[in-house]
Structure 1
Amino acid sequence: MINRRHIRVKVMQSVYAMLQSHNDDIIREEKFLKHSILKMYDLYVLNLLLLVEVQKLASKKIALSKKKILATKEDLSPNTKFLDNKIINSIAESVSFESYLEVNKLNNWELDDEYVKIIFEELQKSNLYKKYLDTIENSFKVDKAFVIDFFKEIIAPNEKLAEYYEDKMISWVDDIPFVNTWVVKSLSKCKPNQAFILSSLYKDKDDEDFVSSLFKKTILKHKEYEKDIEEKTPNWETDRIADIDMILIKMALTEFLNFPSIPTRVTINEYIEVSKDYSTEKSSYFINGVLDKISKEFIKNKRIVKIGRGLL
């Protein structure tokens, strides 16, 4: 499921796009933001589907080998350990998985099956695959460890696959690392004799509402926040502050003032971490300094009101 940090990243991107384009249609931009997050779920499911499709391709290859005129002993009695993998079979048989594919018409690997072949060929050449097929132990634990390593070592780092995803949807460029981690977590949670169930997109309704609230409140108040920022950056003209830094600070101010259950220090730390990935080398220090000064003043003036102990 999407976590709060990645929600902040998605909101940051939408705020940046809206301010850069000088577009004032907040309803339209909010819909695009939510669509972007929803499409991220497609990426999650497509990665799981790729495991299933590679297994199907392996099954087809084995069936063709058995039909050879000069079939070898190995062709006639193949190692079916991969075809019998309990994790992949659990995904393939999942009701939630099949329903999502059908409703959303995710037929990418039928239309672009060359990527299934690329991944299968990489798998066949790997020591991971050879070691798995040679493993005598037949257990859920072994199957699970193999599938996780298969994804982490072969699917996740594949550059051609990454380029394909980026071509399909530009917002997936930043989603790929997060979704890869999400897939691994989903696979790690698999248990014997339990049906595979797709992870939820949001943890709860609060996280879903957080998307809209953070976006809309930041956009509607961003001009007002500039005055607070100017007071705490006397040696900086606002146009000298990096655009992303300014947006991250404004988003943090939105959280200070509108989300009473989020501790002030958590907000500051979150935006420092986001800045490390999306802004300049020194941005984290700058953002930390500005937010620290503003938060202290807001607390002193009682502009920040938090619920519960230790939230300031």
Structure 2
Amino acid sequence: MNQEIKNLSKIYNLDVVNIFYEKNEDIEKIIFALDNVDLFLTKKIYVIKDLIFFEKSINKKDEFLTEQLINAIEKTEHIVIFNNSNILKEKDIYQNFFTKKLISQMNMKIKMLNSLNENELINFVIDKVKENGGSINFVNASLLISKTANNLSLINTEIEKLLNFEKNIQTETINSLVETINIDDPFGFVNSIESNDFAIIWQKYYEKLVLGTPISMLIAQLSQHLILCHQIYAYYSINKSLDQLANDLKINIFRVKKVNQSLKKMGIKKVKHLLIALANLDHNIKNGLIDEQKGFEHFLIKYFV
């Protein structure tokens, strides 16, 4: 991305200004920058990094500020580039009124950079650590990317954590502080519900989060899991077997037996509470009444701690 921006700077002969989003107060800085052109009418390239509106729903309280930002983008004479390190594919862009406005009405051009190969990722890690006053050798950089499933967003997070522990990053530190991410289990999170153990559930949730799995997908998987729990209970109530349910619903009997273990551990009362709470959470997220990540994490803490 940095090379792409440098190329644009050379083509248009414009200075580049980076603005990092960390909190909503930064949006006011972005609006001010876009609204202003100096006395010499000098245009600039503004690179807005990690603006959260590309990644999640917009709360009601943030709608007015978001509309002001849209207006500033529409009217500005500057070139505006949004660079979100957590978005690796176009489908990862969250659909809200901000992104829809930019893409459909303002014809924003979307360019997804190709994924880095292993050598490029290793060099990225070495350069990133060096930029932040640390050092890491080739072997340890390779170890780090292998443990983080080549996920650039997670790599950045882990580098920051490792540098806070030591500046010269060693093998032992990586093995101690960095969890190995398993990308081969798409249902790892929902399967962890069977344990009814918060530590296990939270670990699997975190793995999915750093791999970019949408919260909406986790909610859908959990909802299907709980509905099947309720269906198993209903079959038991009329003296029908798991085999009959599997046959009626065309579901693999192995899956039915695994979900039955969840029902036994949680009990039908908790399953019903979870279904109601999950439906309410889904409604509030879709209507912009709550931040989806904070809402879902609160849900997990409330019902599984």
Higher relative contact order by CA 8 Å / sep ≥ 6: 1 or 2? 1
Q: TM-score range by the shorter chain?
A: under 0.3
TM-score by length of 2: 0.25
* Higher normalized helix content (fraction of residues): 1
Q: TM-score scaled by structure 1?
A: 0.25
